[in-house]
Structure 1
Amino acid sequence: MKFINRTAVPAALALALAGGGVLAARAVTQTAGGPLQAQASAMVPNQSEWSVFAWSMDRNQPLFAINADKAIIPASNNKVYSAIWALDVLGPDYRFPTDLLITGAVQNGVLRGDVVIRGSGDPAFGYYEYDKDPLTSPRAMAAGLKRLGVRVVEGGVIADPYIHDRQNFGPDWPRDTGNGAARYAPTVSGLPFNRNMLWVRMTPGQGQGYIREPDVPEIPIVNGSRGGGANAYAVRQPHQDTIRIRGGGRGRFGVGAFEPAYLAGGAVRQALREAGIEVRGPLRIAQTPQGSVLVHRHLSIPLVQMVPQLNRHSDNFFAEHLWKAAAAKAVGQGTYAGGGAASAVFFHDKAGVPWGELWQADGSGLSAQNRTSAQALVRALIYAHKQPWSQPFHESMAIAGDPGGTMRRMFVGGPAQGNLHAKTGYINDVRTLSGYVKTASGETVVFSFLYNGRNTSGARGVQTNLGNLLAGYTR
């Protein structure tokens, strides 16, 4: 269960939600009517807890609306905005660079300076899903340095995450994330590595009893395991990097690092050591010194290949990094404070989202400070449908009843199965669903069903009924 705090609403969010545009929005959404509106209304109990909107793109008119301009918490439907923003401002073919640089001359095999690893927020860097071995890319960097004849680094390793701010977890995230310690929501960084997880492999009876992966002694580990058994685990407190091993036995455990830039820097240092290059100085987090010389550039997979991580698999880590990358493009640095305002302006200008109906406090939807209306999501989805990257965006969504996404158990056996494709969303007291569906008459309908209330199980049933209503609709 992901617990949220509904009481924390910052001044910037309150100001955004008080903005203009709501009256104009009502003029649009209140034109819905007829039998379909009546059927939808009959399916939705406790309508004050809902924001619902369905729009026919073929007729360019609403099919039904319930509080469509009411801004409420979207949960992971917030990822729809993050994917669209990143695809639009960065482009589907964008590749995140991660650079290895040096700060001094190479003389007789000695680098008279530091090695720098500089990130741009690539969520796939060192990620085993793509590299299989997380050290593959750091080893390629080490090979580039070795080709220069370097045998000794007189300085140390600098890790530069400053394309983003140093707020490594979102505002008002659920308590069970541990401020980025949890595997479902690890920390965010301008220099990510392997999902910013430090892995601890237990080796009872051998040396210190554990191995860090990667080898980063800058992140302290306190081994309190008892040995024996099979119930060992690793944890850290929300506001510190010290990892504590408890229980006993063998195993491998991942913990989101509080200072994630140490992981990439430590991985590079480990790769250099494996390549026979001695590093004499420390690992530290700092900005890249002026005059540094590029040695090797790693380029990520294309951004369009990352978007299914957001929409089909609801991956919080990828969502945060794509959103912060879009914010960095818009305002010069990936910041939570600056990103929310920049996102609101983007969707107002490009998709016609009314002021006051959208506020992104983070990229994933974990934050209880996020707000959107059903109308705002529908407008954003209409905008995405009309873009050159529309097809891969559609394909990135989960499909009703398909085992490969978050809707594997939804709409099974109904008219929406295999047809409706959408983004799901769930945190405590929030259940949301927004996407596209073809009616029985062949119309393309964009919809958003947002619920904030105690009965999230019942809300899922309501959303299923509304989706099947649209899929079975005959004009």
Structure 2
Amino acid sequence: MPHCLRLACLLLAGTFLGAAAQGLPPEVDAVLAEGGLPRDAVVVLVAPAEGGAPRVAHRIDTAVNPASVAKLATTFAALDLLGPTYTWTTQVYFDGSVRGSVLQGNLVIKGQGDPKLVMERLWLLLKRVRALGVHRITGDIVLDRSAFTVPARDPAAFDGEPLRPYNAGPDALLVNFKTVAVTFTPEGRQARVRVEPALAGVRWPAHVPLAAGECGDWITPLRADFTQPARVRLPGSFPAACGERTWNIAWPEPDAYAARAIAGMWEEVGGHLGGQVRDGVAPAGAQPVLELASPPLAEVVRDVNKFSNNVMAQQLFLTLSLVHRGTGTFEGSREVLAGWWRERLGGEPPFTENGSGLSRMESITARQLGQLLQAAWVSPLMPDLAASLPALGLDGTLRRQRQNIGLAHLKTGSLNEVAGVAGYVHGPQGRRWVLVAIANHRRASAIRPAVQALVEWASRQP
């Protein structure tokens, strides 16, 4: 990023430092009181997007947990440090010679952090291997995950919900977010079970019995048993009143997901494997026989922010140290992000544990978020970041909102006892406002109607 942008960021920070705090608008205060959310449990900022004194500054120097609003720092830093056209590549090596249609040796797939290696793109990768003339592999398919070094993690550790897709962990060779989609379709007296993708060696029941009664919580009555992940049991029933439903699951055996998915896809594209799928490393000094590029970073950032995808955000975060340090680590990426913050925005950076906001250790102030959003607004990267934020009432995590439709682009964040937003509000005559509103409290969700009142108030400001 050019020197002029850094100067602009520092000038914005100076404007903030000299600004006197102003109180909450009365209508926002009233909504907070009605919801039982104390004023000292929220931080609020409304300021001109192009810089200048804030219109509202309530507890803006109080550090709070931002939940997924933390993704703003990760995504803007990535756009600035890597560039909006940055792509990840997944490389394929032949560790052996090809004779006829047979690879006499191993096929090596090296991941480099692609956040969006979904099944359609894995199919394309393996079809390209087939197009190189390989029909059978006498050895193994070797998965090289060495680009990232991340600690072992328990997917249940954060909130006791290991099957929730938001708890999937990062991986240098992340395949399909380590998730499966299980669809239940009522047919006669049973519900047909369809699972995508097909994981090699995993068996699912073909049907489950239908039950009477209302739909409600339809997952618990299935009594899903993943004690033996290779043989899933569904001894319960599915409510007929639900119609067709899909259950998205983070695979309970996450470290084995890529191996099972790749083995299954290799068979699907018509390949034969003599050995097994296992972890390993690419042969030293070898050149890849093909590379599959990811979508560009700007497109990935849209997915991260629109849908608050945690594992994609962590992939992006780890890529910062992969590119700048040679290996992707959480500690290395924290250092890269902190250095970028000091250089571009000035002052001490916020703390982020993993770049996604899925953490109880995240810490940032409304002032810091305001500085980041103002800096982004005067940056050439503004269109990429602003367009990645959910449009109020239209898409992403804000698609179900029914007030002030289209008046704001806001990143949302939500955890137990944490809720908030940060982004841009559209005012009259093309005016744009930075808005930050976050609550840390047992009644944090009560900030949502206050956010609507604040958006409406800000959108009227000249």
Query: TM-score scaled to structure 2, two decimals?
Result: 0.79
Partner in structure 1 of residue 173 of structure 2: 191
Distance 2:323 2:179 in 1: 26
- Once the two structures are superposed, the pairs formed by residues 197-216 of structure 1 within 5 Å of their partners are 197-198=179-180, 213-216=197-200
Which of 321, 332, 344 is the equivalent residue of 2:326? Answer: 332
One-letter amino acid of the structure 2 residue matched with residue 197 of structure 1: T
2:302 maps to 1:315: no
Partner in structure 2 of residue 347 of structure 1: 341
Partner in structure 2 of residue 51 of structure 1: 43
User: Is the alpha carbon distance of 1:234 and 1:387 closer, same or farther for their aligned partners in structure 2, counting shifts above 3 Å?
Assistant: farther
Q: Deviations over 1:149-200 (max 9, x none)?
A: x44423201111222224465999632431xx32343232111112212456
Q: Which runs of 5+ in 1 are unaligned?
A: 1-24, 204-208
Distance 1:42 1:199 in 2: 43
Partner in structure 2 of residue 372 of structure 1: 364
Distance 1:39 1:202 in 2: 49
Distance 1:41 1:227 in 2: 50
2:165 maps to 1:163: no
Per-residue deviation at 1:471? Answer: 1.3
One-letter amino acid of the structure 2 residue matched with residue 162 of structure 1: S
One-letter amino acid of the structure 1 residue matched with residue 413 of structure 2: G
Partner in structure 2 of residue 426 of structure 1: 414
Q: Deviations over 1:440-459 (max 9, x none)?
A: 46532212111100222322
User: Is the alpha carbon distance of 1:121 and 1:59 closer, same or farther for their aligned partners in structure 2, counting shifts above 3 Å?
Assistant: closer
Per-residue deviation at 1:288? Answer: 1.7
Distance 1:260 1:291 in 2: 30
Per-residue deviation at 1:428? Answer: 0.8
Distance 1:296 1:421 in 2: 39
User: Is the alpha carbon distance of 1:375 and 1:279 closer, same or farther for their aligned partners in structure 2, counting shifts above 3 Å?
Assistant: same
2:68 maps to 1:81: no
User: Is the alpha carbon distance of 1:107 and 1:280 closer, same or farther for their aligned partners in structure 2, counting shifts above 3 Å?
Assistant: same
Find the residue that maps to 1:418 and give its secondary structure: coil
Contact 1:234 1:254 in 2 (8 A): no
User: Is the alpha carbon distance of 1:49 and 1:201 closer, same or farther for their aligned partners in structure 2, counting shifts above 3 Å?
Assistant: closer
Distance 2:157 2:360 in 1: 7
Choose 102-111 or 367-376, whichever is displaced more.
Answer: 102-111
Give the percent of matched residue pairs that are identical in Structure 1 and Structure 2.
25
User: Is the alpha carbon distance of 1:436 and 1:212 closer, same or farther for their aligned partners in structure 2, counting shifts above 3 Å?
Assistant: closer
Partner in structure 1 of residue 435 of structure 2: 447
- Once the two structures are superposed, the pairs formed by residues 44-193 of structure 1 within 5 Å of their partners are 46-58=38-50, 60-107=52-99, 109-127=101-119, 131=120, 136-146=123-133, 150-167=134-151, 174-178=158-162, 181-193=163-175
Contact 1:188 1:260 in 2 (8 A): no
Per-residue deviation at 1:358? Answer: 0.9
| Count of aligned positions | 425
One-letter amino acid of the structure 2 residue matched with residue 443 of structure 1: R
Query: TM-score scaled to structure 1, two decimals?
Result: 0.77
User: Is the alpha carbon distance of 1:40 and 1:434 closer, same or farther for their aligned partners in structure 2, counting shifts above 3 Å?
Assistant: farther
Q: Deviations over 1:277-324 (max 9, x none)?
A: 432222111222213341221112222112222222222232222222
Which of 379, 384, 389 is the equivalent residue of 1:387? Answer: 379
Per-residue deviation at 1:373? Answer: 0.9
User: Is the alpha carbon distance of 1:137 and 1:123 closer, same or farther for their aligned partners in structure 2, counting shifts above 3 Å?
Assistant: same
User: Is the alpha carbon distance of 1:57 and 1:152 closer, same or farther for their aligned partners in structure 2, counting shifts above 3 Å?
Assistant: closer
Find the residue that maps to 1:446 and give its secondary structure: strand
One-letter amino acid of the structure 2 residue matched with residue 406 of structure 1: T
Which of 262, 275, 299 is the equivalent residue of 1:281? Answer: 275
Which of 392, 399, 408 is the equivalent residue of 1:400? Answer: 392
Contact 1:98 1:297 in 2 (8 A): yes
Q: Which runs of 5+ in 2 are unaligned?
A: 1-12, 186-192, 212-220, 239-244
Distance 2:326 2:226 in 1: 32
Distance 1:38 1:271 in 2: 57
One-letter amino acid of the structure 2 residue matched with residue 139 of structure 1: L
Choose 259-268 or 343-352, whichever is displaced more.
Answer: 259-268
Distance 1:28 1:210 in 2: 55
Find the residue that maps to 1:359 and give its secondary structure: coil
Find the residue that maps to 1:105 and give its secondary structure: strand
User: Is the alpha carbon distance of 1:59 and 1:358 closer, same or farther for their aligned partners in structure 2, counting shifts above 3 Å?
Assistant: closer
Q: Deviations over 1:20-61 (max 9, x none)?
A: xxxxx8994572356x66658855663321222222244522
Q: Deviations over 1:255-274 (max 9, x none)?
A: 32356464444444444445
